[in-house]
Amino acid sequence: MQSAVLFLVFNRPETTVRVFESIRRAQPPRLYVAADGPRPARAGEPERCAEVRAIATAVDWPCKVETLFRDENLGCKRAVSGAIDWFFANEAEGVILEDDILPDPSFFPYCDALLARYRDDANVAMISGCNLIGDRHGADASYVFTHYMHIWGWASWRRAWCHYDADMAGWADPAAKRKLADVLGNRPRAMAYWSGIFDQMAAGTIDTWDYQWVFAAWMRDMIATIPAHCLIENIGYGANATHTTGDMPKAVRAARPRPMAFPLCHPDRSEVRMIDLLEEQHAFGLTWQNALRARLAHVPLLRRLVNGVRTALNRR
């Protein structure tokens, strides 16, 4: 493996050890490990965080190791985005893995190859190892292009990440709404869904970092690659997760990783709109109900009303 790896960890030794083993087999020349601080009110979390940090730095191959270990808990938004800022302050490009994303061994050479191929292509924001739209059996290409940024196992460049803004100040500009409509092909459901998400992000009502990355890419006409079949497995669903605490969605259950064949067969970019539609159908389940829920979620009273109605219906 040629690229540096950023390993984002926190408090789950059971998943961290599995992902670290996959990194150890790939033997990157440089490993960056970033960890948010423990939450004081969570019993046993300082001990779990310490165990995770020991696991993630137990390097036994020729490798330069850098660490960013927070003493205080910053939360998902600031901890993760700050870690990626730190990574790209030191590296021009590289691979990013969270502690619950288990890659197939072929994920690493896939990232190496496409990081090199699109290094100077300002239209490409990132390389993803995640495919939630289903295997493209019979497709000639090893991967396809989409506007959607899947960050379950990905790689990118400093030249793309430099546009990221955790607070999404640009969403206040009316031109951003027009740009969103252009990117989404004026599809009403997608417009309602993503406008609602971006409203929430700009209002600071969600503690996450990834929607801002989507926004940064879309405002600059950037696209991403996804493999013809999934190269990662999300092993983090459950009660101890930060966001994936519920049942595993159908699209995720169906996305079983398989090895990538080499040499890669490269696509053109003519299918971006079609792949976007598949993403909205399979990965996001974009129905009018979901779009409306996202649109109203940033309004506190309406959010309470929607949740109250949903609770009442579920009790019947």
Q: Specify the DSSP class assigned to residue 281.
A: I
What tokens appear for 89 in the block? Answer: 């302050």
78 located within any domain: yes
In a domain? residue 175: no
Kindly state the percentage of the chain with pLDDT values over 70.
83
Determine which of 132-146, 154-168, 214-228 has the lowest per-residue pLDDT on average. 132-146
Q: What is the mean pLDDT of residues 276-287?
A: 73
Q: Does the residue 192 lie in any domain?
A: no
Contacts of 154 (CB under 8 A, 6+ apart): 95, 96, 126, 127, 128, 129, 130, 224
Q: According to the model, what pLDDT value does residue 297 have?
A: 52
Contact 261, 142 (CB under 8 A): yes
**Distance spanning both ends of the chain, measured CA to CA:** 55
Q: What is the rounded average pLDDT for all residues in the chain?
A: 88
pLDDT in tens, 80-90: 999 999 999 99
CATH number at residue 81: 3.40.50
Assess if residue 44 is contained within a domain.
yes
Could you read off the pLDDT of 233-281 as tens digits, one per residue? Answer: 999 875 554 544 456 667 677 678 999 999 999 999 988 988 888 888 7
pLDDT digits (tens, 9 = 90+) for 168-219: 999 999 999 999 999 999 988 899 999 999 999 999 999 999 999 999 999 9
Residue 306 has pLDDT above 50, yes or no: no
Containing structural domain, residue 66: 1-99
Which whole number is the average pLDDT over 22-48?
Answer: 97
pLDDT of amino acid 87: 99
- pLDDT score of 227: 96
Q: What is the pLDDT of residue 274?
A: 86
Q: What is the pLDDT of residue 309?
A: 43
Total structural domains within the chain: 1
